[in-house]
Amino acid sequence: MAEKFYITTPIYYPSNKLTLGNCYTTVICDAITRYNKMLGSDVFYLTGTDEHGQKIAGKAKDAGKTEMEYLNEIIADAKDLWKLLNINYDRFIRTTDEDHVKVAQHVFTELYNKGYIYKSGYKGKYCVPCESFWTESQLIDGKCPDCGRPVIDQEEETYFFKLSQFSDKLLKLYQDNPEFLQPQSRVNEMVNNFIKPGLSDLCVSRTSVKWGIPVPFDTNHTIYVWIDALTNYLTGIGYLSDDKSFKKWWPADVHIIGKEIVRFHAIIWPAMLMALDLPLPKKVFGHGWLLFGGDKLSKSKNVDSVECVDPRLLAPRYSADAVRYILLREIPFGSDGNYSTETFLTRINSDLANNYGNLVSRTLSMLKKYNASVVPTARVENETSKDLQTIVKLEAENAKRHMQNLDCSKALASIFAIFDKANKYIEVTEPYRLAKDESKKAELDSVLRNLLEAIRIGTIHLSAFLPDVSTKVLDILGVEAKLTDDNFYALKDGKVLEPCPILFPRLDIPKELEELAKLNKQD
Ligand code: MSP
């Protein structure tokens, strides 16, 4: 039976339209999903939206809409965006979904019945217009960090989750399972910044927030943030509604999240699951941020004026594959990395148009010219061809290994090393020179065949990352995207190959930058 693999993104706040930053995690999870499927795994990919809370209610009110009207528009846009970027999720969960409301309420009640939740009071700094509590340290110059207005001392009755009881269990979890939280530096952060100084109990309900899931046994309260948000990972695969599915998929193989919410996934979430006697996720991966001019594209900041960062504009103009490529390739996985439009356009030209696109079109046009587009059978073994085969095989294995570590950026570097090598192989073998000498026909055919095989193998790996362009090329070659064979000579001898359309037109970068600046202003 195929191995199961359950992967999740965070559920995003739909208080505004989703951003390129949100696309980062979603595209990574999509590439990992596709790659694992090619390896023969049975994969479930969950993404969705985190829809409750004061901020959403306020936004809806400002827009003169009901919460659901406001949310439905943003969710429709998010789903369109995922379609535009070829995201192949299995479920888009909304925390307003009926089955999720039941799960969040059930979990809250369970934790209460087991003695992990108790009622007490919450004291804090309260901003009346924003209806938000803040801690002393969150205030900016003693004022509300959201609106800058003065805050008052206020006490509210709330329920608490006994997080403080879990310190030792969490330390043991990290010790016994070095795989649980990655990269390793995040473990040190959790231990030194949160667990060692002592965990406080967690506020899990509010009476002042009306747009939320009611606490079932005390309906003056709504469930506050994390019990509602984190349990989406259970609902998404049928907890309480489809036992068979839940048993099949849980525990999650990996939660991929941004580093700012590692604390919730590596401390609160395992503590809640331990309290519920449910198995823990196998891995939490906290990736770094995509930075824009050194800044995180945060949900509250508008950096569109600095860079053109709207994927809804970039994908139709440069292709979904190009947007996916920059997100998957540019930032070392686990670290922060800078995004700039110029890097994006430069990568399209250098990697996609020159390295890959040109290799494919050059090879197919030589095949047409020198062998009537027929896949040659010739196999002349020599040092150069052996060297090509060795590197292709090695880099294909490297790509697989990097993907076991979820590292799309390094996997893509390995795949592009295959194309680099194939381009160098053309330079070294000089097929145009061989074509001038009748006696070298077998050698020429063999060069063409080897190029086609390198393209086939590299493109199969590439298809998890850039599905559109890979499908085009694999269709021409007449092969399926299966990672079963990284050896040469799997193409069908004698097959006639169609010509290749231009895969990535070369861009005039200064002109594009100018155009994008204009489009940005119109936005
Ligand atoms: N709703 C919570 C998550 C609950 S999960 C049970 C939330 N939502 S969010 O809308 O703020 O999304 C944050 C996530 O979006 C990050 O963790 C990350 O996955 C992604 N990113 C948003 N901006 C990003 C960057 N600039 N760079 C990388 N990822 C970013 O937090």
pLDDT digits (tens, 9 = 90+) for 233-270: 999 999 999 999 999 999 999 999 999 999 999 999 99
Task: For the chain, list residues with pLDDT below 70.
Answer: 1, 294-307, 522-523
Q: Specify whether the CB–CB gap between 447 and 424 falls below 8 A.
A: no
Q: pLDDT value at position 101?
A: 98
Reading the block at residue 23, the tokens are 């696309």
72 Cβ contact list (under 8 Å, min separation 6)? none
Q: How many domains does the chain have?
A: 2
Determine if the peptide bond prior to 183 is cis (ω within 30°): yes
Query: Ligand 1 mean position to 385 CA, how many Å?
Result: 46
Query: Ligand 1 mean position to 217 CA, how many Å?
Result: 31
Residues 244 and 390 in one domain: no
Q: For 72, phi and psi rounded to 5 degrees?
A: -60, -35
Q: pLDDT value at position 309?
A: 87
Q: Is position 404 within any domain?
A: yes
d(CA 292, CA 274): 38
Domain extent at residue 17: 4-296
Residues 290 and 388 in one domain: no
Q: Work out whether the CA dihedral 475, 480, 482, 484 comes out positive or negative.
A: negative
Domain stops at, among 296, 320, 353: 296
Q: Is the CB of 272 under 6 A from ligand 1?
A: no
Q: Specify whether the CB–CB gap between 165 and 200 falls below 8 A.
A: no
Q: pLDDT value at position 297?
A: 57
Q: What is the CATH number of the domain that holds 167?
A: 3.40.50.620
User: Which of 8, 9, 12 is the best mutation target for the ligand 1 pocket, counting ligand atoms within 8 Å of the beta carbon and taking the most?
Assistant: 12
Pairing of strands 42-49, 4-12: parallel
| Site of tokens 């994008």 | 516
The DSSP bridge partners found for residue 140 are 143
Q: Is position 503 within any domain?
A: no
Query: Ligand 1 mean position to 522 CA, how many Å?
Result: 27
Reading the block at residue 245, the tokens are 């599915």
Which atom from ligand 1 is nearest to the alpha carbon of 230? Answer: 6
| Pick from 424, 432, 479, 422: nearest CA to 455 | 422
Q: Is the CB of 457 under 6 A from ligand 1?
A: no
Residues 284 and 380 in one domain: no
Query: What is the pTM for the complete model shown?
Result: 0.95
d(CA 396, CA 410): 12
For 331-366, letters b (16+ CB in 10 Å) and e give bebbeebebbbeebbebbbebbbebbbbbbbbbbeb
Distance of CA 373 to the CA centre of its chain: 39
Residues 223 and 329 in one domain: no
Q: pLDDT value at position 294?
A: 67
Q: pLDDT value at position 484?
A: 75
Radius of gyration, CA atoms only, the chain: 27
